[in-house]
Amino acid sequence: MERVYVVFITAPRGKGEELASKLVESRLAACVNVVNGVRSVYWWKGRVERDEEDLLVVKTVESKVEELIRYVKEVHPYEVPEVIAVPVEKGLREYLAWVEEVTKTG
């Protein structure tokens, strides 16, 4: 079984749903949870910024991670989008198999 990853992506508020749909439709992700109204505080270009954002929690497989990162970089409105991929150590076997099956079909 291929290793499953969870990828965290932030997007401007209201843009997360569109990005999530594109990732699932292209089979770069099996599932994306869109968490609206995340408050982000971060350092950018010499000052502290505060923004309302959407947080995407993306489930994919290892072989799709690099392509997913490239895709997000191309379409994302931020100069440097947050894209963090974390391998899943444990999970429901049937769910992990489903993620693999769905992403392999594309």
pTM for the whole thing? 0.95
CB neighbour class for 80 (10 Å; exposed up to 12, middle 13-18, buried from 19):
exposed
Residue 65 pLDDT? 98
Q: What is the pLDDT of residues 47-99, one digit of tens each?
A: 999 999 999 999 999 999 999 999 999 999 999 999 999 999 999 999 999 99
Q: What is the CATH number of domain 4-104?
A: 3.30.70.120
The residue ranges of every structural domain in the chain are 4-104
DSSP letters along the chain, please? Answer: -PPEEEEEEEEETT-HHHHHHHHHHTTS-SEEEEEEEEEEEEEETTEEEEEEEEEEEEEEEHHHHHHHHHHHHHH-SSSS--EEEEE--S--HHHHHHHHHHHH--
